[in-house]
Amino acid sequence: MLIYNMKNLNKQLGKKVAVIGAAGGIGQPLSLLLKLNPNVSRLSLYDIVNTPGVAVDLSHINTNSNVVGYKGQDSIGEAITDADVIVIPAGVPRKPGMTRDDLFNTNANIVQSIGQAIAKHAPKAHVLVIANPVNSTVPIIAETLKKAGVFDPRRIFGVTTLDVVRASTFVSELKGTDAVKTKVTVVGGHSGVTIIPLLSQTGINFTQEEIEKLTHRIQYGGDEVVKAKDGTGSATLSMAQAGARFTNSLLEALEGKTGIVEPSYVYSPVAAKEGVAWFSTNIELGVNGVEKIHPLGKLSEYEQKLYAEAIPELQKNIKKGEAHVNK
């Protein structure tokens, strides 16, 4: 008699995605979007609080994936074992007046401990870092994995998707273009001056005044949300959508679909000559993660100035993350 092993069947049909920080402001809507994603067969929700409730709630949605919730540090190993993709929206968000770097002291330790668990229980997983400050938390994960001898630069991603999502929206609002079809390449990092929108590459005509206003809005778009939420947090719903978009693109690439391009803050040669090892540009995703890293392309004089301003900040942020692990 043929007996189907559902566990193995699930494995063949899709991927296991683990969300770390799944009960949080980003974690919950992100988990909802992933529960709706047919490319996810097993959804593992981990947090230090409240995950069982989130998991049981989501598990009643009639899509073909299993949802399991894990609560508390003892269970992180089980939560991430066998995960193909681990998304990390864990850590504290900003309050009005804070920069992303102000979150460093709290989030650096959280991210480092998650990195240690990944090194031990899921060294082959693709790791998507949402926790801020991304410019530093990504090097923290990388250094932690390096220490454990399991670092593979093709599998570590800083999620900068929200910057291009915002850029598409803000440009389309100004120019009356279709927000879905308006593509803006954004390079650099994920904070203030390190966010470099390449408006000259959109094919849309802007005045210099429009370019400067749009650039500032894209760089500091997160502050609009922090201010509007008035002390209760930062972007969660738009971030969940951006995180779900990036996760889905990666899952499709892991399944063998080619030509999938998304921006991400990855280990990159693009700004290496400036001593900047981590940098966001468009990258092509493949079955092993990062497949091809796109170059910057032609920059306008104004964008060259933005690039020059971003470099020292990125150098500082990356060094700070690396030093946290190697102190």
The residues binding ligand NAI (CB under 6 A) are 20-21, 23-27, 47-49, 89-94, 103, 107, 110, 113-114, 130-132, 134, 159, 162, 190, 233-236, 239
- 280: tokens are 């966001």
Between the alpha carbon of residue 127 and those of residues 2, 219, 247, the distances in Å are 37, 24, 10
Between CA 269 and CA 139 the distance in angstroms is 15
Nearer to ligand NAI, 14 or 159 (CB): 159
130 assigned ligand-binding residue:
yes
294 has catalytic annotation:
no
CB of 103 to ligand NAI, least distance (A): 6
Q: Vertex 129, ends 68 and 94: CA angle to 5°? A: 100
State how far Cα 110 lies from the chain centre: 16
131 assigned ligand-binding residue:
yes
Catalytic residue among 126, 190, 216, 324: 190
97 assigned ligand-binding residue:
no
Query: Closest residue (Cβ) to ligand NAI?
Result: 24
Q: Which residues contact 102 (CB under 8 A, 6 or more apart)?
A: 94
CB 138 within 8 A of CB 106: no
Between CA 192 and CA 313 the distance in angstroms is 10
CB of 262 to ligand NAI, least distance (A): 13
CB of 121 to ligand NAI, least distance (A): 14
CB of 70 to ligand NAI, least distance (A): 10
- 161: tokens are 């998707």
155 assigned ligand-binding residue:
no
Give the annotated binding-site residues for substrate: 94, 100, 132, 166
Give the annotated binding-site residues for NAD(+): 21-27, 47, 107, 130-132, 239
- The catalytic residue positions are 190
